[in-house]
A and B are shown apart, each in its own frame.
Chain A
Amino acid sequence: MPTVDISGWTCPTPLRDQPRVVMGHGGGGALSAELVQQIFAPAFGGEILAQLGDSAAVSLGGVRLAFTTDSYVVRPLFFPGGCIGDLAVNGTVNDLAMSGARAAYLSCGFILEEGVEMPVVAGVADAMGAAARAAGVEVATGDTKVVEAGHGDGVYLNTAGIGLIPAGVDLRPQRVVPGDVVIVSGDIGLHGVAIMSVREGLEFGVEIESDCAALGGLVESMLAVTPDLHVLRDPTRGGLAAALCEIATASATGIVVQERAVPVPSAVANACAILGLDPMYVANEGKLVAFVPREHADAVLDAMRAHPLGAGARIIGETVETHPGMVVARTPLGGTRVVDLPLGEQLPRIC
């Protein structure tokens, strides 16, 4: 056995830039943020865009509107608990709701792949219609394009939406202050695991359904208790962790999360354990995280629990003066760890 000489050990050249788009640029993590900050924001300019919210709060003719757009490229098109049509309505309705706005009108852009079967298109459209009616929003305008076979995954959708922001409501990360209470509206990780289970053909013992839902009604019931909520976020791509990290950064406050308080259903925990993923980073489509002044926390929590989509609401943490811009989780064993913005997409671990 030769002795090990460490003096000459070296490692590979760092990847300091990405010359082409990689999947991680769409993962809702650090790569996504860099793409927006380095290319899109400078190209478009504009103060409103620079706020980088899920939706923009704009004034038009003396009226405060929330305005947003989102694209949907999910595979498979139909999954346990919903389909791309539900997602395209609920996702955009939820982006508006996070500004405190009740969605009023949506646009809908279909990008169809040559060869996709008509019943599939009809199924997606029917689901969109049903979701829109359930959310109390009207699909008012739309567009259709077809791309050649092999250039799409059957159906891509884009929806944009507008809604009125009620007077006295001002939801922004900048309003977060130390001492705020952090509330999540229910079980996390369901959507991401549901998609993974059908996409990869993985069996986790029980079928896990997406939590896809429109949150406008839940937000209204919260605002009815107090319009003085500080910020709301729906933790979609990048999961709860990404949402918390974004708010910590934008508000320059620290966030402490009690890991044991974060509601992770056992089916999600088991699936994540098998795959080596962290539930905190798994996507949700029917949950919100709220930063609430401490004096209103109990009343807001009660209001959330009285609503079907907030029945599982729990306080998971608070904002602090220490470690500004950073999210720290207290582990069940009593240790601490930093919760960081994911780089791109979470990758299943080998062992």
Chain B
Amino acid sequence: MKYLEEFQNPELARRLLDEIRATVTRPWALMEVCGGQTHTIIRHGIDQLLPDEVELIHGPGCPVCVTPLEVIDKALEIASRPDVIFCSFGDMLRVPGSDRDLFQVRSRGGDVRVVYSPLDALKIAQQNPHREVVFFGIGFETTAPPNAMTVHQARKLGIPNFSLLVSHVRVPPAIEAIMTSPSCRVQAFLAAGHVCSVMGMGEYPALADRFQVPIVVTGFEPLDILEGIRRTVRQLERGEHTVDNAYPRAVRSEGNPAAQAMLADVFEVTDRSWRGIGTIPDSGWRLSERYRDYDAEYRFSVDGITTREPAACRSGEVLQGLIKPHECEAFGTACTPRSPLGATMVSSEGACAAYYLYRRLGPTPTPQEASPVA
């Protein structure tokens, strides 16, 4: 973990910034796909330090933000049942469904528990054989393999009272959806390093060729992100559009074959709805027919859930990079982390929450106030 300090070295950061400044000659719009990268960018003020020509557009890569409202409502319904222990990663508890969140379910007596791994939920199922234990399996290619492994283990160990509520999504189809949107301004992508550590880089050359965009696999520490930006800008300036790996300490081009095999065994590709974006074909995973017994949606028959959504929130446009968070009329006034209108304000990785927490320099922020402190 000594890397933490090394990859936040201000002197090296300055050198990378100088190189980026020396390279850039005209405006470019880069999208960082992953919410973890958005968080680092805003938390460290990286966007303030870049030359004006380099614009960062925050992508739809926050797993909490893009989980559809319908799935949240199903989670709330299942978690409210007295015979259920509902297990989730922490930051899903605050995401509002149509009328409540998991915290409120817990305050009404629901047994909702924060776990750090799906295997913890499996252990809880073993310890509570007379109760149904459900794990909320959300996220991208990074969280899907351990969830798949857990279902695989549940079957292997013969644990009948465990199931998974699945809402997994895949990055490449989302990139395709963004690039085919008529309003798209994205000229290059910083691809999510952790996704690539699992899936490898094989899905990206076709996208880079088809849309003529550089795709640079990028890590999550400040220096990782600056290096990803440096390589992306260099490609843009040269008129190149290749797939480059700026995160070799974690990403091999073939990815993690064992994890991929586990995904292929347990999941199957499906159309998936993304909050703020809509349905994207082949952009998600669900449990395959062989593991259907472990699918909480089937086990608890939570069909017929209808959602209710207000229209004030523009998180769809934020997730697409069409507007910056502070350009939404509700930002910081009607919509704050205390009373979020949308998931991008709920998750700490959501672009709106990151802007609110780290950019707001007045009680009721406006774009003018969102400038750095002198």
Most buried by B among A21, A30, A323, A335: A335
Q: Which of B91-150 contact A (CB under 8 A)?
A: 91-94, 96-101, 103-104, 106-108, 114, 116, 138-140, 142-143
Write out the residue numbers on chain A whose beta carbons fall within 8 Å of the beta carbon of B107: 18, 20-23
Write out the residue numbers on chain B whose beta carbons fall within 8 Å of the beta carbon of A351: 34-36, 63, 139-140, 142-143, 194, 349
* Residue in contact with B90 in the complex, picked from A10, A202, A205, A348, CB distance below 8 Å: A348
- How far, in Å, is A288 (CB) from chain B's closest CB? 25
* Given A13-B99, A326-B361, A334-B45, also A343-B337 (CB < 8 A): yes
Q: Is the CB of B139 within 8 A of A348?
A: no
* Given A12-B98, A350-B91, also A331-B104 (CB < 8 A): no
* Given A1-B177, A3-B181, also A9-B357 (CB < 8 A): no
How many Å lie between the Cα of A10 and that of B303 in the bound state?
Answer: 21
- How far, in Å, is B213 (CB) from chain A's closest CB? 16
Q: Which of A51-59, A171-179, A268-276 contacts B (4 or more CB under 8 A)?
A: A268-276
> Quick check: is B159 within 8 A (CB to CB) of the other chain?
no
Q: Is the CB of A4 within 8 A of B104?
A: no
Main secondary structure of the interface of A (DSSP, over half): loop
> Quick check: is B250 within 8 A (CB to CB) of the other chain?
no
Q: Is the CB of B357 within 8 A of A332?
A: no
| Seed contacts A12-B310, A350-B91; 18 additional CB < 8 Å A-B pairs | A2-B281, A3-B181, A3-B182, A10-B311, A12-B309, A12-B343, A14-B334, A14-B341, A15-B339, A260-B10, A322-B373, A323-B362, A335-B47, A343-B337, A344-B94, A347-B91, A347-B114, A350-B143
Q: Is the CB of B43 within 8 A of A269?
A: no
Q: Which of B46-74 contact A (CB under 8 A)?
A: 46-49, 63-64, 69, 72
22 residue pairs from A and B, CB less than 8 Å apart: A3-B182, A9-B317, A11-B276, A11-B313, A11-B315, A11-B316, A13-B98, A14-B310, A21-B107, A24-B103, A266-B2, A269-B1, A273-B4, A335-B47, A337-B358, A338-B357, A343-B337, A348-B91, A348-B114, A349-B90, A349-B348, A350-B91
How many Å lie between the Cα of A2 and that of B273 in the bound state?
Answer: 13
> Quick check: is A5 within 8 A (CB to CB) of the other chain?
yes
* Residue in contact with B340 in the complex, picked from A6, A14, A333, CB distance below 8 Å: A14
Nearest B residue (CB) for A29: B338
B 272-284 binary contact with A (CB < 8 Å = 1; else 0) = 0001111001000
How many Å lie between the Cα of A156 and that of B342 in the bound state?
Answer: 38
- How far, in Å, is A248 (CB) from chain B's closest CB? 12
Q: How many pairs, one residue from A and one from B, have CB atoms within 8 Å of each other in the complex? A: 213
* Given A30-B338, A333-B222, A351-B139, also A9-B316 (CB < 8 A): yes
How many Å lie between the Cα of A347 and that of B90 in the bound state?
Answer: 5
Write out the residue numbers on chain A whose beta carbons fall within 8 Å of the beta carbon of B348: 276, 347, 349
Write out the residue numbers on chain A whose beta carbons fall within 8 Å of the beta carbon of B99: 13
> Quick check: is B356 within 8 A (CB to CB) of the other chain?
yes
* Residue in contact with B44 in the complex, picked from A325, A332, A349, CB distance below 8 Å: A332
How many Å lie between the Cα of A24 and that of B72 in the bound state?
Answer: 20
> Quick check: is B8 within 8 A (CB to CB) of the other chain?
yes
Q: Is the CB of B45 within 8 A of A333?
A: yes
> Quick check: is B253 within 8 A (CB to CB) of the other chain?
no
> Quick check: is A16 within 8 A (CB to CB) of the other chain?
yes
> Quick check: is A119 within 8 A (CB to CB) of the other chain?
no
Nearest B residue (CB) for A16: B339
> Quick check: is A256 within 8 A (CB to CB) of the other chain?
yes
Write out the residue numbers on chain A whose beta carbons fall within 8 Å of the beta carbon of B374: 322
> Number of B residues whose C-beta is below 8 Å from A?
98
Nearest A residue (CB) for B320: A6
Nearest B residue (CB) for A325: B363
Write out the residue numbers on chain B whose beta carbons fall within 8 Å of the beta carbon of A275: 116
Nearest B residue (CB) for A259: B44
Write out the residue numbers on chain A whose beta carbons fall within 8 Å of the beta carbon of B356: 340
> Quick check: is B27 within 8 A (CB to CB) of the other chain?
no
Q: Is the CB of A347 within 8 A of B359?
A: no
Q: Is the CB of A205 within 8 A of B1?
A: yes
Nearest B residue (CB) for A1: B180
Q: Is the CB of B116 within 8 A of A323?
A: no
> Quick check: is B262 within 8 A (CB to CB) of the other chain?
no
Most buried by B among A13, A21, A23, A30: A13
> Quick check: is A45 within 8 A (CB to CB) of the other chain?
no
How many Å lie between the Cα of A335 and that of B94 in the bound state?
Answer: 29
Q: Is the CB of A343 within 8 A of B140?
A: no
> Quick check: is A328 within 8 A (CB to CB) of the other chain?
yes
> Quick check: is B176 within 8 A (CB to CB) of the other chain?
yes
Q: Is the CB of B46 within 8 A of A333?
A: yes
- How far, in Å, is A206 (CB) from chain B's closest CB? 10
Q: Is the CB of B310 within 8 A of A331?
A: no
B 311-338 binary contact with A (CB < 8 Å = 1; else 0) = 1111111001010000000000011011
How many Å lie between the Cα of A17 and that of B120 in the bound state?
Answer: 32
Write out the residue numbers on chain A whose beta carbons fall within 8 Å of the beta carbon of B347: 349
How many Å lie between the Cα of A4 and that of B63 in the bound state?
Answer: 19
How many Å lie between the Cα of A69 and that of B278 in the bound state?
Answer: 52
Q: Which of B75-100 contact A (CB under 8 A)?
A: 89-94, 96-100
How many Å lie between the Cα of A2 and that of B277 in the bound state?
Answer: 12
Write out the residue numbers on chain B whose beta carbons fall within 8 Å of the beta carbon of A200: 116
- How far, in Å, is B209 (CB) from chain A's closest CB? 16
Q: Is the CB of A9 within 8 A of B46?
A: no
